[in-house]
Amino acid sequence: MATWTSRFPGSGTLIEETRIDTRIKDRVEAILRILDVRGIDIPDTHRERIAACADLDTLDTWFDRAVTAGTSEELFVDGR
């Protein structure tokens, strides 16, 4: 079975890493903004935890939860 490797310019390079870093930063800002606009109190410990996260899957989960969460603690319900 043949395998295919992407030769997309920027793949695996600083350009790609910068895109991922930008997505992480944007997602963190979006989560905090959603909670803020909804009037949800965000303790400094939660704000720091969100800002320190570098895993896009976790940030996506928190983003989805931020839309309906009643408290910022609800973002972390399963330990993520």
Taking only the tens place, the pLDDT of each residue in 14-42 is 666 677 788 999 999 999 999 999 999 99
Q: Please state the pTM of the whole predicted model.
A: 0.75
Rounded CA-CA distance 18/49 in Å is 21
Residues spanned by the domain of 26: 14-70
Q: Into how many domains does the chain fold?
A: 1
- CA dist 20 and 24 (Å) reads 6
Would you say residue 49 lies in a domain? yes
Is residue 5 included in any domain, yes or no?
no
Greater confidence, 6 or 67? 67
In a domain, 6, yes or no: no
Q: List the one residue out of 68, 30, 70 whose CA is nearest residue 50.
A: 30
Confidence band, pLDDT 50/70/90 cuts, at residue 11 = low
Look at residue 55 and tell me if it is in a domain: yes
At 50-61, the pLDDT tens digits run 999 999 999 999
The two structure tokens encoding residue 10: 């920027």
Q: Is residue 46 part of a domain?
A: yes
